[in-house]
Structure 1
Amino acid sequence: MTAPRVSVLMSVLNGEAYLGDAIDSILGQTFPDFEFIIVDNGSTDRTAAIIRGYDDARIVPVTNRQTLSLSQSLNVGLARAKGIYVARLDADDVALPDRLSRQVAVLDAQPEVALVASAWTTFGEDGIAQMVPGPVPPLDHGAILTALATRNVLTHSSITFRRDVAAALGGYDETFTYCMDYDLYFRIAATHRLAVIEEPLVAVRIHGNQITRAPDWQIPRSREILRVADAARTLSFLTAAERRRARDHATRLCLRLARLSFRKLHLLDATGWLIRALRRAPATAICLAAHSLRRDRRAEPPAHHA
Structure 2
Amino acid sequence: MKSIKLSVIIPTFNRAQFLSRSVNSILSQDIDDIEIIIVDDYKKDQTEEIKESFNHLSCVKVVKSWAHRPSGARNIGVKNALGQYISFLDDDDIYLPGRLNNMLTYIENESEKLSFVSSGRLFEVNDFQKVMLDDSQKYGVIKLSDVLDCNGIDIGFMMRREFFNQLDGFDENLSSLEDWDLILRSLMISDGYKIERLDYAVNFEVDRPRVSLTQEQSRNSLADKYLFKFGKKWYFENKFKGLCESGEFNIIYGVKYLLHSSSFYDLKSFVYYTIKTLKGV
TM over 0.5: yes
Deviation track 1:138-162 (CA, whole Å, cap 9, x = no partner) reads 22335x4323111111111x31111
Checking the alignment, whether the CA contact within 8 Å between 2:122 and 2:201 is kept in structure 1 is yes
Runs of 5+ consecutive residues of structure 1 not aligned to the other structure: 235-246, 302-306
Give the Cα separation in 1 of the matches to 2:102 and 2:134: 19
Give the C-alpha shift of residue 52 in structure 1: 2.1
Give the Cα separation in 2 of the matches to 1:191 and 1:294: 38
Q: Match for 2:181: what amino acid?
A: D
Give the C-alpha shift of residue 294 in structure 1: 4.9
Give the Cα separation in 2 of the matches to 1:231 and 1:90: 32
Which residue is 2:27 aligned to?
Answer: 27
Which residue is 2:164 aligned to?
Answer: 166
Which residue is 2:237 aligned to?
Answer: 252
Q: Match for 2:154: what amino acid?
A: T
Q: CA, structure 1 residues 210+228, in 2 after alignment: closer, same or farther (shift >3 Å)?
A: farther
Checking the alignment, whether the CA contact within 8 Å between 1:152 and 1:182 is kept in structure 2 is yes
Which residue is 1:178 aligned to?
Answer: 176
Question: How does 1:225-244 map onto structure 2 within 5 Å?
Answer: 225-227=222-224, 230=227, 232-233=229-230
SS of 1:219's equivalent? helix
Say whether residues 1:137 and 2:137 are aligned partners. Answer: yes
Question: How does 1:1-306 map onto structure 2 within 5 Å?
Answer: 1-42=1-42, 44=44, 48-54=48-54, 55-64=56-65, 66-110=66-110, 111-125=112-126, 127-128=127-128, 130-135=130-135, 137-142=137-142, 144-156=143-155, 158-207=156-205, 208-211=207-210, 217-227=214-224, 230=227, 232-233=229-230, 247-258=232-243, 264=248, 271=252, 274-275=255-256, 278=259, 281=260, 284=262, 291-292=268-269, 294-295=271-272
Runs of 5+ consecutive residues of structure 2 not aligned to the other structure: none
Give the Cα separation in 1 of the matches to 2:41 and 2:274: 46
Q: CA, structure 1 residues 154+228, in 2 after alignment: closer, same or farther (shift >3 Å)?
A: farther
- Normalised to the residue count of structure 2, the TM-score between the two structures is 0.83
Give the Cα separation in 2 of the matches to 1:76 and 1:256: 30
Q: CA, structure 1 residues 135+76, in 2 after alignment: closer, same or farther (shift >3 Å)?
A: same
SS of 1:195's equivalent? strand
Checking the alignment, whether the CA contact within 8 Å between 2:19 and 2:91 is kept in structure 1 is yes
Which residue is 1:244 aligned to?
Answer: none
Deviation track 1:16-41 (CA, whole Å, cap 9, x = no partner) reads 33211001111221222111111111
Q: Which region of structure 1 is more displaced relative to structure 2, 35-44 or 129-138?
A: 129-138
SS of 1:113's equivalent? coil
Q: CA, structure 1 residues 296+203, in 2 after alignment: closer, same or farther (shift >3 Å)?
A: closer
Give the C-alpha shift of residue 44 in structure 1: 4.8
SS of 2:16's equivalent? coil
Give the Cα separation in 1 of the matches to 2:181 and 2:129: 33
Give the Cα separation in 2 of the matches to 1:231 and 1:3: 43
Give the C-alpha shift of residue 114 in structure 1: 2.3
SS of 2:146's equivalent? helix
Checking the alignment, whether the CA contact within 8 Å between 1:172 and 1:181 is kept in structure 2 is yes
Q: Match for 1:251: what amino acid?
A: F
Q: Match for 1:2: what amino acid?
A: K
Percentage of identical aligned residues? 20
Give the Cα separation in 1 of the matches to 2:244 and 2:200: 34
Give the Cα separation in 2 of the matches to 1:80 and 1:248: 40
Checking the alignment, whether the CA contact within 8 Å between 2:43 and 2:68 is kept in structure 1 is no
Checking the alignment, whether the CA contact within 8 Å between 1:131 and 1:203 is kept in structure 2 is no
Give the C-alpha shift of residue 201 in structure 1: 1.9
Give the C-alpha shift of residue 191 in structure 1: 1.9
Q: What root-mean-square deviation, in Å, do the aligned CA atoms of Structure 1 and Structure 2 show?
A: 3.3
Give the C-alpha shift of residue 299 in structure 1: 7.7
Q: Which region of structure 1 is more displaced relative to structure 2, 199-208 or 252-261?
A: 252-261
Q: CA, structure 1 residues 218+77, in 2 after alignment: closer, same or farther (shift >3 Å)?
A: closer
Structure showing greater radius of gyration is 1
The total of aligned residue pairs comes to 276
